[in-house]
Structure 1
């Protein structure tokens, strides 16, 4: 059974922001959920970090938790969740057509497909529900029907992507591992793969015609 699994199934790992989805979905979610007044007032609390981030002096994996805390601390889960479902539907409409087609091809071939993102689970869980794929991402903390403003897990970027993938999946059980990313935060994930695609640099997506199940499905 182990040999069959390894011979006939691949693992496909997709980054979200900048790869499967062309924009910054986390910032988009903030503007989708909150009023401009809330964003302006709460943004002042982390303004020095925001400025340092855009100047290249403060890393994204440290910026995101601070921004989440400023924007979502004590927010009601029920209200945010309602927006998250609608936002996920909007995100699906904006997926990169070529990469979305590649994802569907992996699914049609019977591969395990996983979204691996540093963005938060609040809305990504609904994106993955719509796409019928697995999710590895940054999880946020809840308490008494409100968000605490803290992360439950480390920011799922850089080495954390590789750690979380290997915790959840036995890579040697797969015929091959495919990884799709677009930034330095994806490099450790890409290092796990047999076939990679770096959005904005690579001209061609990996060819799946040699997939062990391709002949049967064709």
Structure 2
């Protein structure tokens, strides 16, 4: 394949690059596994409503963040996010997915991580790898988290909205897109070459090796 530096690669994170949901893993990292599962029990009515499609993704995300982090000082939680980025997150990444990211960098392609997770625990990892990050933001007042999402949850159609606006002022000759769920189809439709995975962890490495590039 001829190197084309005027190219962008857009990646979902959770389930595509990582084997686990980084939001949940960050909660465990900060609060401990026991308290995390206690929280799951307390929040179970809202989780059930979500799976019954009576409670949307945005509200459930705020529900979790409020329960675990409402009132936390942003400066302190962001420090935990840096620690998570450096010590936990690398081990959650599929090695084969990292190889694909590395390939794009070798081709001098721009890389965007487009995720419903937060920059609180992803900013350091993305910055250290020279990835641009578009993620969900959480509201703060006087350096304390309110538990509310700031702006829009970067999920589903919102990913498409962001990517549409981002590409509007760019002149990329080619684009790649990577996701793992039906909600990612919204942004994948905008890319020239897309990959949608829905595989268990045992098959992901095989997929990357056999199907990509």
Give me the TM-score of the superposition, normalised by structure 2. 0.84
CA RMSD of aligned residues (A): 2.4
Structure 2 unmatched ranges of 5 or more: none
Q: Which residue of 1 aligns with 2:137?
A: 139
CA 1:100–1:35 in structure 2 vs 1: closer, same or farther (change >3 Å)? closer
Offset at 1:53? 3.3
2: CA distance, partners of 1:174 / 1:51:
42
Q: Which residue of 1 aligns with 2:95?
A: 97
2: CA distance, partners of 1:100 / 1:8:
19
Does the aligned pair in 2 maintain the 1:22–1:95 contact within 8 Å? yes
Q: Which residue of 2 aligns with 1:213?
A: none
2: CA distance, partners of 1:163 / 1:180:
16
Which shifted more, 73-82 or 18-27? 73-82
CA 1:33–1:68 in structure 2 vs 1: closer, same or farther (change >3 Å)? same
Q: Where do residues 1-218 of structure 1 align in structure 2 (5 Å cutoff)?
A: 8-35=5-32, 39=36, 46-53=43-50, 58-89=55-86, 90-170=88-168, 173-200=171-198, 203=207, 204-207=210-213
1: CA distance, partners of 2:56 / 2:92:
26
CA 1:180–1:193 in structure 2 vs 1: closer, same or farther (change >3 Å)? same
Offset at 1:175? 1.4
Offset at 1:21? 0.7
CA 1:91–1:163 in structure 2 vs 1: closer, same or farther (change >3 Å)? same
2: CA distance, partners of 1:16 / 1:61:
18
1: CA distance, partners of 2:91 / 2:128:
11
Offset at 1:36? 5.5
Offset at 1:199? 2.2
The higher radius of gyration belongs to 1
Does the aligned pair in 2 maintain the 1:171–1:177 contact within 8 Å? no
2: CA distance, partners of 1:38 / 1:95:
25
Does the aligned pair in 2 maintain the 1:136–1:165 contact within 8 Å? no
Does the aligned pair in 1 maintain the 2:181–2:198 contact within 8 Å? no
Instruction: Name the count of aligned residue pairs.
Output: 201
Give me the TM-score of the superposition, normalised by structure 1. 0.82
